[in-house]
Chains A and B, each alone.
Chain A
Amino acid sequence: MTPEQITLVQSSFERLGPQLPAMAARFYQELFGRDPALRALFTTDLAEQQVRFAEKLTEIVRAMPRLDDLLAHTRALGARHSGYGVRAPDYQTVGEALLDALAAVLGDHFDAPTRQAWTLAYNLVAETMLEGAASARRIGT
């Protein structure tokens, strides 16, 4: 990513402001619409799940400029998700759902450069989460 793209991810995320819960709700809607089977992976109350998602996303977006901080978050998060049975192909679905949820809530503000920046950011997050997931399974088995 370029420094400008990191800034763009952060500023567009700030713009969500009070709409963050709505974006989180929209995310799960998009996700289960794409793959209803994923719903079974979530055992907790969906409302509570949306709150946790929003918190985690906030942490990650804040950590974006410093790779070490980011990795600390994403690796641990990936390890947890591995335990839930989430696998590499699911990350693709999650990424699409996230981008569409952002687009739905941000409207015209989610322009092409913003989408490109989020795509790269998500890819970085997903790759490092998957790495954390793999090491966790390694230790687990």
Chain B
Amino acid sequence: MLADVAITLQRWPIVGRRSELEAFEKALCSGEYAGLVIHGRPGVGKTRLADECRLQAAAAGHPTERVAGSRTTALLPLGAVVALLAGGLGRPGPDGQVDAVALFEQTRRALHERHHGRRLVTIADDVSLLDAASVALLGYLAAQETIFLIATVRTGEPVPDLVTGLWRDGRLERVDLGDLSRAHLDTLLHLALGGPIEAGAGREFWAVTRGNPLYVRELVLGALESGALVERSGVWHLEDRLPSTTRLQDLVEQRIGGLSAEARSVIELLALCQPLELGYLETAVPPGVLELLERAGLVAIAVADQEVRLAHPLHGEVVRAAMPRSRARAILLAQAGRLEAATPDPGPAALRIAVWRLDAGGRPDPAVLVRGAHLARYAHDFRVVRRLIEAVPGGQLDAAGALLLGEALYELGAFDASERVLASGQQLPSSEHVALRLAVTRAKNAQWGLCQPEAALAINAAARAVVTSPPLAEELVADEASILTFSGRPGRALAVLERIAGGDRRTRVVRAIAGAPALAMTGRTGDAVRVAEDGFTDHAALGDDLAIAHPAMHIVNQVFALTEAGRLADAERLARAGAEIAASDRVPIAQIFFAANLGRVATLQGRLATARRYYAEAAGLAQVHRFAGPRQLALSGLALAHAMLGDADGAGQALAERATGPAFGFRGPEQQLADAWTAIAARRPAEAAQRFRDAAAQAASTAHRTAESWLWHDLMRTSGQDTSARLRELADACDSPLISARARHAAGARARDARELAGAAADFEALGALLLAAEAAAGAAEAFSRAGDPRAATAALRRSSALAGACEGAATPGLVHGAAAVPLSGREREIVMLAAEGMTSKDIADRLFLSVRTVNNHLQHAYTKLGVSSRAGLAKALGSTS
């Protein structure tokens, strides 16, 4: 029976896919497209369509190739695309590194030559299962028009970046496959069986498969084999019910389960090692078995390529899952041995051998492993780097290998292990180049991973004694500046940067990463924005390289510089755009910094609930990705936002969480805003004032002028203390209108100058700093009222309320007293707030280091001004106006 339909079955018909095939044809001919992506659920016919495209291309005279991702080939970078490596595997350079870009280019040239400049139509089946380096190579070759890519992607699986990248550039045609319609299923059965089918059988096939083509194929082939589907007088009948399983996997298992032991072992062999050479299988397998499997639609033999593979990826998955580990091991090792013996100089096939040995849990050639690790590093696949290098036997790892492993461990958050590996790598003989990178990576791990900036500085200093050639030595100096900047010493960082002249591009990039935030913190915000912009341009031209931060960090720096320059709207826009890119490129450190900076901008804008949300997001990301330092920054911001919203408990919780991590020096004084404001929210004003002062002194000692300005200004806002003189000096030393507005606010408050306060309010409002504008306007209202101008006071008060309305529930002292529009002195306000909380005069006196009599005097004055006669009335007066 099977033999009768064999002719029809040699090529299972393709139905309902003609538009897609025409789309392929058009894309291939147009020259505009680099490839075609086929999306769809398992069994919908992606592989079948891709194969049909390939046949069509071959018939039109195009050379073709086929690669496929699997869990096995993913074990080694480029393991899946051995067939494309026409130019060999690339040779490590003098510094022990494999240059992935050079290898890709070499491959491109070799393919170009081999195929006389014609595009190689290449199927990449299941691209989601490809290793990152294979994906990068395919992307490169497709973009260069060396290959025309036909990629299949299962619905719900992640689409590799290369695919999304080419797609974004409009260089990919995309088709989405769905199940067949009822009419198409009917036509498929008609063509597959070669004649009509009785009505009941047709209904049954539709009811069971709902048009899933692979399901149909497996059912038809299974039913033919079992004799359930038979032909009588030219009409096909179903003699038996179809298997009722709804899982395709079960169906495939049933089909393979019915095979002879010999046939099954061929399937197992292919599931692990496909594709295999037809010539080899013909000698290794008893006669007739291959033919039987081909007829049963389980294996596909490509006569032109002399290759045999399983007819569908799903068959391989089902068989692999059911195979005992020991059996798989034996098959893999036997095949590795066979191929090694057959080809003494295997060339790219060495990768296949290595993949099989890795899959078997064996030990492949260390040189292959290290080469693979370099390629994985190029593709940012640090898990694979780690796995490959850790498979190298102890004692055989050189300095370059240690560098790779140390960096991967750092990226994966294994900081202690990274320190061990890099420190021992520094003991091995190496070129100056590798020595430099070991030092820079180890310092980075010490600073960002272990949060030990002093250790990072020591590593840097030790390296400077050894690495002395000009461009390399300069990079170390730039790195020293970076450590200083990101541990909160911007003034010193800038002094260190003075020691290097132009430097090469790489040095300029490292210099920009350290220099831009340092310039911003010292108040040279215009220079900071420029340096960050140039740094990004230089970094883009540099290409990817070891031991340099991600290019997005320049944009983070630019956001910070714009914020310090008071360009809040610009900063917010840039940060939002950057956050999107960082999320889609999956760069966690940049995501964290963008979120934290968005929180920071929102804080300055007075949008405190928004700020709280961004900071919480940044803290969560930092926690997940184990960036302990940035987590401190985010939690500080979170506490600050809570406190300014009047939520002392929330602020306290964030601070308690922060206390579980190591201290982080970067923007350290600014982080203490959180402690001070939490004290304000908890009604401990004396403690708050002390914290503001201490932090401001610390900021002054490190030339962190922007933070110092913020701290003195907030002391003034919360206590009424005069800080105007220092704020004026800072404004003169900086180029930022935000800092100038703070100085104006403080000067106006000191002089009780209503017009200056109103001017400061307008300045803040122009910058988008609405909470500060509201507070300054409230101050102006008070001053107008004191000066006997109630109309101007009312207007200013109304302005203040309107601005405060945009501040998402801000509850700062500047608003509470301002809204009351009553000219309380700073001290009176402080005491009134505590009394309204229900504290006794004695407690207030203790808290504020005053005598009880002084407290009562202040209270009495406040009662008079507010027109109340008791503490209860006080609470009511404040409550009704706040």
| B196 adjacent to A1 (CB under 8 Å) | yes
With both chains docked as a complex, state the minimum distance between the C-beta of A97 and any C-beta of chain B, in angstroms: 17
Q: Quick check: is B202 within 8 A (CB to CB) of the other chain? A: yes
| A138 adjacent to B56 (CB under 8 Å) | yes
Q: Quick check: is A120 within 8 A (CB to CB) of the other chain? A: yes
B19 partner residues in chain A, CB cutoff 8 A: 88-89
Q: Quick check: is B588 within 8 A (CB to CB) of the other chain? A: no
| A123 adjacent to B183 (CB under 8 Å) | yes
Q: How far apart sit A69 and B184, CA to CA, in the bound complex (Å)?
A: 20
Query: Known contacts being A2-B197, A139-B59, A141-B60, is A123 close to B187, with CB within 8 Å?
Result: yes
Residue of B nearest to A1 (CB): B196
Residue of B nearest to A68 (CB): B194
Query: Known contacts being A2-B199, A67-B195, A134-B18, is A124 close to B56, with CB within 8 Å?
Result: no
Query: Known contacts being A4-B199, A120-B186, A139-B59, is A127 close to B194, with CB within 8 Å?
Result: no
Q: How far apart sit A134 and B235, CA to CA, in the bound complex (Å)?
A: 29
How would residues 23 to 61 of chain A score, 1 for a CB under 8 Å from any chain B CB and 0 otherwise? Answer: 000000000000000000000000000000000000000
| B59 adjacent to A123 (CB under 8 Å) | no
| A127 adjacent to B187 (CB under 8 Å) | yes
| B235 adjacent to A119 (CB under 8 Å) | no
Q: Quick check: is A137 within 8 A (CB to CB) of the other chain? A: yes
| A120 adjacent to B198 (CB under 8 Å) | no
Q: Specify which of A3, A5, A87, A137 lies most central, judged by the most chain B CB atoms within 10 Å of its CB.
A: A3
Query: Known contacts being A2-B196, A3-B235, A120-B183, is A127 close to B59, with CB within 8 Å?
Result: no
| B59 adjacent to A120 (CB under 8 Å) | no
**Within A66-103, which residues are at the interface with B (CB < 8 Å)?**
67, 87-89, 91
Q: Specify which of A123, A130, A138 lies most central, judged by the most chain B CB atoms within 10 Å of its CB.
A: A123
Query: Known contacts being A3-B198, A139-B59, is A130 close to B187, with CB within 8 Å?
Result: no
Q: Quick check: is A128 within 8 A (CB to CB) of the other chain? A: yes
Query: Known contacts being A2-B197, A2-B199, is A67 close to B18, with CB within 8 Å?
Result: no
Q: Quick check: is B224 within 8 A (CB to CB) of the other chain? A: no
Residue of A nearest to B58 (CB): A138
Q: How far apart sit A2 and B648, CA to CA, in the bound complex (Å)?
A: 78
Q: Quick check: is A6 within 8 A (CB to CB) of the other chain? A: yes
A1 partner residues in chain B, CB cutoff 8 A: 186, 190, 196-197
Q: How far apart sit A91 and B15, CA to CA, in the bound complex (Å)?
A: 14
Q: How far apart sit A135 and B81, CA to CA, in the bound complex (Å)?
A: 30
Total inter-chain residue pairs, C-beta < 8 Å:
62
| B22 adjacent to A88 (CB under 8 Å) | yes
A134 partner residues in chain B, CB cutoff 8 A: 18, 21, 25, 56
With both chains docked as a complex, state the minimum distance between the C-beta of B105 and any C-beta of chain A, in angstroms: 31
A120 partner residues in chain B, CB cutoff 8 A: 183, 186-187
Q: How far apart sit A16 and B536, CA to CA, in the bound complex (Å)?
A: 76
With both chains docked as a complex, state the minimum distance between the C-beta of B218 and any C-beta of chain A, in angstroms: 21
**Within B776-806, which residues are at the interface with A (CB < 8 Å)?**
none
Residue of B nearest to A6 (CB): B196
Q: How far apart sit A119 and B186, CA to CA, in the bound complex (Å)?
A: 10
Q: How far apart sit A4 and B191, CA to CA, in the bound complex (Å)?
A: 17
With both chains docked as a complex, state the minimum distance between the C-beta of B301 and any C-beta of chain A, in angstroms: 21
With both chains docked as a complex, state the minimum distance between the C-beta of A34 and any C-beta of chain B, in angstroms: 17
Q: How far apart sit A128 and B15, CA to CA, in the bound complex (Å)?
A: 9
Q: Quick check: is B16 within 8 A (CB to CB) of the other chain? A: yes
With both chains docked as a complex, state the minimum distance between the C-beta of A139 and any C-beta of chain B, in angstroms: 7
- Interface size, A (range): 20 to 34
Q: How far apart sit A138 and B58, CA to CA, in the bound complex (Å)?
A: 9
Instruction: Give the residue of B25, B184, B194, B196 whose beta carbon is less than 8 angstroms from that of A123.
Output: B184
Q: How far apart sit A131 and B190, CA to CA, in the bound complex (Å)?
A: 15
| A87 adjacent to B22 (CB under 8 Å) | yes
B15 partner residues in chain A, CB cutoff 8 A: 127
B16 partner residues in chain A, CB cutoff 8 A: 127
| B194 adjacent to A130 (CB under 8 Å) | no
Query: Known contacts being A3-B235, A137-B25, A138-B56, is A130 close to B195, with CB within 8 Å?
Result: no
Query: Known contacts being A2-B198, A120-B187, is A127 close to B18, with CB within 8 Å?
Result: yes
Q: How far apart sit A131 and B191, CA to CA, in the bound complex (Å)?
A: 12
**Within B18-34, which residues are at the interface with A (CB < 8 Å)?**
18-19, 21-22, 25
Instruction: Give the residue of A3, A123, A137, A141 whose beta carbon is less than 8 angstroms from that of B186.
Output: A123
Residue of A nearest to B203 (CB): A2
Q: How far apart sit A63 and B882, CA to CA, in the bound complex (Å)?
A: 90
Q: How far apart sit A139 and B454, CA to CA, in the bound complex (Å)?
A: 73
Q: How far apart sit A87 and B747, CA to CA, in the bound complex (Å)?
A: 79
Q: How far apart sit A72 and B187, CA to CA, in the bound complex (Å)?
A: 16
With both chains docked as a complex, state the minimum distance between the C-beta of A1 and any C-beta of chain B, in angstroms: 5
Q: How far apart sit A6 and B235, CA to CA, in the bound complex (Å)?
A: 12
A3 partner residues in chain B, CB cutoff 8 A: 196, 198, 234-235
A131 partner residues in chain B, CB cutoff 8 A: 18
Q: How far apart sit A91 and B16, CA to CA, in the bound complex (Å)?
A: 12
Instruction: Give the residue of A87, A124, A130, A139 whose beta carbon is less than 8 angstroms from that of B190.
Output: A124
How would residues 804 to 838 of chain B score, 1 for a CB under 8 Å from any chain A CB and 0 otherwise? Answer: 00000000000000000000000000000000000
A139 partner residues in chain B, CB cutoff 8 A: 59
B199 partner residues in chain A, CB cutoff 8 A: 2, 4
**Within B590-617, which residues are at the interface with A (CB < 8 Å)?**
none
* Interface residue ranges, A against B (CB under 8 Å): 1-6, 65, 67, 87-89, 91, 119-120, 123-124, 127-128, 130-131, 134-135, 137-139, 141
* Interface residue ranges, B against A (CB under 8 Å): 15-16, 18-19, 21-22, 25, 56, 59-61, 183-184, 186-187, 190-191, 194-199, 202, 234-235
Q: Give the 8 A-B CB pairs with smallest separation, nearest first.
A: A138-B59, A88-B18, A130-B18, A88-B19, A123-B183, A2-B199, A124-B187, A141-B60
| 25 intermolecular pairs with C-beta atoms under 8 Å apart | A1-B190, A2-B197, A2-B202, A4-B199, A67-B190, A67-B194, A89-B19, A120-B183, A123-B183, A124-B186, A124-B190, A124-B191, A127-B15, A127-B16, A127-B18, A127-B191, A130-B18, A131-B18, A134-B18, A134-B21, A134-B56, A137-B25, A138-B59, A138-B60, A141-B60
